[in-house]
């Protein structure tokens, strides 16, 4: 009797179980999502100076919404504002109008985004396979995988994609046209390139999503050797034209994407693949590594070029067994209604993945079209596969009077749940946030007291944090040197080379000319910046190997940079506080030396 109750609780569809069972699994899914998300928010709120790694690029300029005087004539801020999707900008702009700092919003937003993603994933699974435990496994595996990346914690545009795209899929299958169109608007104005994947799904989606499915080996398939209805393998995807509501959604996708297609960037066109091959930034170890020597890494796991199948946590790998289940015999298959949405999603993603490779950089990065979709597809497949395993296991145990079989079933079930719950804690960095915590509050406060048009030149990695923590512009920063648009790349390249030369020139006149020409107000200098080893280990060497090696050669030859002398005579922080490994040299100090 106990086995029968457990089997009902674990493997029965919602039509055969009390309503509270579905509520239990849904609440358990949301509880798991909250369990992973709340510590992240707690960590974020515990530091005054904290920002996600990607937030340093995509969030800092939004403080213009609070104070229009910040970052005046700042090409870096202008660039990242120009590439930010309109919906993403508008979201933070609304909070800024209420007087709330966008960087504070970014610390909190991962929690509701994670909960929304979990909720829509649960609902999506019930539409495909209305067994609550399967929806639980699917949604929890999805959110576990999401927290193995820094997408949610980044609070960047991609953090919003998963809940929005899951909502689109959910409302599409529910045939809730207004809600589907609204979610498409969200996808389009937060992560517009994913409208291409959505458009592919809309084209491939069958006309009657509520029809019952049949599979090879089922009664309706007998005598049908061709397997025309085997929709999981694509046999039924092109049988019908899209319904009217899908055509309406496609028109909306086109209307949103058209301005992007016609718009030309103020920072030049994108590099071609041939041009990128000659830029060190795109090589292995470069700022935006694209090419790889290893074939498998390039096509499978490359962060910008690979398919990136979501195979972690390991239980997701069970999703690869789904095709075997579809070809077998199981009473649960009669409850499977919408599995072809997985086919449509995978096919659309793969199509755009290969087109992005073919049209390199014109459709941005290939991996962006598969990493999110494959995560959703595999989590759906894994949820079904786990319930299939449990159904087979409990079916094996139920007819037997032997306690041994029941004990084995209980043990395996507990092992699955235990592994699902415990696996994340075996990881060294979970949940993954990539948060940057500022370690120089006195420095940030010093710069905050300077005029808003202050410009800081620095080769130090700490310079990457100043726009976010000090709210002041930097001349150039390695983290901001994104090499996609020619105009922006060339500008930052010229600045980086000019700064390298000025930083290490022995000629005081040349140093002053650089300061005056670019209106530099301060230099921020690492304490060991004038040692040859500093440049050898610097990230700048990845992008500018010839320039940094030449400077290093001069340092090894005994040449003394002019800036080093000013560091010793009028550097702040370095002399005042030995706990700081940074020094600040003001423009006024360098100019006064010339007058003397």
Mean pLDDT of 405-415: 81
Q: In this structure, is residue 216 part of a structural domain?
A: no
Q: Range with the lowest mean pLDDT among 184-193, 316-325, 460-469, 490-499?
A: 316-325
Contacts of 97 (CB under 8 A, 6+ apart): 65
Token look-up 């002041």 returns 472
Q: Range with the lowest mean pLDDT among 100-109, 124-133, 146-155, 213-222?
A: 213-222
Q: What is the pLDDT of residue 2?
A: 57
Same domain, 183 and 38: yes
DSSP string across 20-87: HHHHHHHHHHHHHHHHHHHHHHHHHHT-SSEEETTHHHHTGGGGGGT-TTSSTT-HHHHHHHHHS-HH
Same domain, 388 and 520: no
Same domain, 525 and 401: no
Q: What is the pLDDT of residue 182?
A: 95
The percentage of the chain sitting over the pLDDT mark of 70, rounded to a whole number, equals 90
Same domain, 397 and 459: no
Q: What is the pLDDT of residue 334?
A: 78
Q: Please say which residue of 357, 391, 426 terminates a domain.
A: 426
Q: What is the pLDDT of residue 276?
A: 87
Q: In this structure, is residue 223 part of a structural domain?
A: no
Q: What is the pLDDT of residue 411?
A: 85
Same domain, 508 and 534: yes
Same domain, 277 and 326: yes
Q: Please say which residue of 394, 426, 458 terminates a domain.
A: 426
User: Tokens for 103?
Assistant: 């960087």
Q: Please say which residue of 371, 396, 426 terminates a domain.
A: 426
Q: In this structure, is residue 48 part of a structural domain?
A: yes
Q: What is the pLDDT of residue 399?
A: 62
Same domain, 446 and 336: no
Same domain, 75 and 183: yes
Q: Is 419 left (phi over 0), alpha (psi -120 to 50) or beta?
A: alpha
The percentage of the chain sitting over the pLDDT mark of 90, rounded to a whole number, equals 58
Q: Between 499 and 263, name the one with better pLDDT.
A: 499
Q: What is the pLDDT of residue 321?
A: 87
Give 298's DSSP letter: I
pLDDT at 498 over 60: yes
Q: Return phi, psi of residue 470, to 5°.
A: -100, -15
Same domain, 395 and 521: no
Q: In this structure, is residue 217 part of a structural domain?
A: no
pLDDT at 192 over 60: yes
Q: In this structure, is residue 432 part of a structural domain?
A: no
Q: Each residue of 325-346: pLDDT tens digit?
A: 878 777 777 788 878 889 899 9
Q: In this structure, is residue 528 part of a structural domain?
A: yes
pLDDT at 591 over 90: no
368/146 Cα distance (integer angstroms): 14
Give the residue among 187, 76, 92, 32 at the shortest CA–CA distance from 481: 76
Same domain, 165 and 291: yes
Q: Each residue of 503-525: pLDDT tens digit?
A: 999 999 999 999 999 999 999 99
Number of domains the chain contains = 2
Q: What is the pLDDT of residue 594?
A: 58
Q: In this structure, is residue 357 part of a structural domain?
A: yes
Same domain, 65 and 93: yes
Task: Give the best-scoring range by mean pLDDT among 203-217, 270-284, 371-385, 580-594.
Answer: 371-385
Token look-up 């506080």 returns 577
pLDDT at 384 over 70: yes
Q: Range with the lowest mean pLDDT among 4-8, 273-277, 416-420?
A: 4-8
Q: What rounded mean pLDDT belongs to the chain? A: 87
Mean pLDDT of 207-211: 44
Q: Domain containing 587 — which CATH number?
A: 3.40.50
Q: Each residue of 312-328: pLDDT tens digit?
A: 899 999 999 888 887 87
User: Tokens for 330?
Assistant: 């199981």
Q: What is the pLDDT of residue 302?
A: 85
Q: In this structure, is residue 238 part of a structural domain?
A: yes
Same domain, 343 and 406: yes
Give the structural domain span for 268: 2-210+228-426
Q: Each residue of 73-125: pLDDT tens digit?
A: 999 999 999 999 999 999 999 999 999 999 999 999 999 999 999 999 999 99
């Amino acid at each position: 009797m106990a086995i029968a109750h457990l089997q009902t609780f674990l493997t029965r569809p919602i039509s055969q179980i009390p309503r509270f069972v579905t509520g239990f699994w849904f609440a358990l899914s949301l509880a798991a999502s909250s369990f992973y998300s709340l510590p992240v928010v707690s960590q974020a709120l515990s530091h005054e100076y904290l920002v996600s790694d990607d937030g340093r690029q995509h969030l800092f300029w939004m403080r213009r919404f609070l104070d229009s005087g910040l970052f005046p004539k700042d090409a870096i801020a202008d660039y990242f504002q120009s590439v930010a999707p309109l919906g993403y900008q508008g979201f933070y702009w609304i909070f800024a109008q209420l007087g709330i700092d966008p960087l504070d919003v970014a610390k909190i937003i991962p929690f509701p985004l994670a909960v929304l993603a979990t909720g829509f994933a649960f609902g999506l699974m019930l539409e495909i396979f209305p067994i609550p435990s399967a929806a639980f496994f699917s949604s929890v595996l999805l959110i576990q995988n999401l927290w193995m990346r820094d997408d949610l914690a980044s609070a960047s545009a991609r953090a919003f994609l998963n809940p929005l795209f899951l909502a689109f899929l959910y409302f599409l299958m529910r045939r809730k046209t207004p809600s589907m169109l609204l979610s498409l608007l969200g996808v389009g104005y937060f992560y517009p390139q994913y409208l291409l994947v959505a458009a592919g799904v809309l084209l491939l989606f069958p006309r009657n999503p509520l029809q019952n499915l049949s599979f090879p080996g089922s009664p309706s398939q007998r005598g049908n050797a061709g397997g025309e209805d085997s929709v999981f393998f694509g046999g039924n995807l092109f049988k019908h034209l899209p319904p009217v509501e899908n055509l309406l959604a496609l028109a909306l996708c086109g209307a949103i994407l058209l301005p992007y297609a016609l718009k030309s960037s103020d920072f030049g066109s994108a590099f071609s693949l041939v041009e990128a091959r000659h830029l060190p930034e795109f090589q292995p170890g470069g700022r935006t590594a694209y090419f790889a020597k290893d074939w498998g890494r390039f096509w499978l796991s490359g962060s910008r070029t690979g398919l990136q199948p979501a195979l972690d946590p390991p239980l997701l790998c069970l999703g690869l067994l789904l095709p075997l289940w579809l070809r077998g015999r199981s009473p649960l298959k009669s409850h499977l209604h919408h599995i072809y949405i997985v086919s449509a999603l995978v096919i659309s993603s793969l199509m755009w993945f290969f087109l992005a490779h073919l049209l390199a950089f014109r459709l941005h990065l290939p991996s962006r079209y598969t990493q999110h979709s494959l995560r959703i597809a595999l989590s759906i497949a894994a949820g079904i596969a786990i319930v299939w395993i449990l159904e087979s296991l409990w079916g094996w145990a139920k007819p037997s009077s032997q306690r041994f079989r029941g004990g084995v079933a209980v043990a395996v079930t507990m092992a699955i749940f235990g592994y699902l719950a415990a696996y994340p804690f075996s990881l060294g960095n979970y949940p993954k946030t990539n948060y940057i915590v500022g370690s120089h509050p006195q420095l940030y406060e010093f710069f905050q007291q300077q005029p808003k048009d202050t410009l800081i030149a620095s080769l130090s990695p700490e310079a990457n944090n100043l726009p976010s923590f000090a709210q002041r512009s930097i001349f150039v920063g390695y983290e901001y040197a994104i090499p996609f648009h020619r105009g922006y790349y060339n500008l930052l390249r010229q600045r980086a080379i000019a700064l390298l030369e000025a930083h290490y020139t022995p000629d005081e006149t040349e140093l002053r000319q650089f300061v005056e020409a670019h209106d530099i107000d301060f230099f921020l200098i690492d304490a060991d910046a004038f040692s040859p080893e500093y440049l050898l280990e610097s990230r700048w060497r990845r992008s500018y190997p010839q320039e940094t090696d030449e400077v290093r050669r001069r340092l090894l030859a005994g040449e003394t940079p002019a800036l080093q002398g000013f560091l010793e005579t009028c550097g702040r922080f370095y002399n005042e506080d030995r706990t700081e490994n940074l020094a600040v040299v003001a423009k006024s100090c360098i100019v006064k030396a010339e007058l003397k």
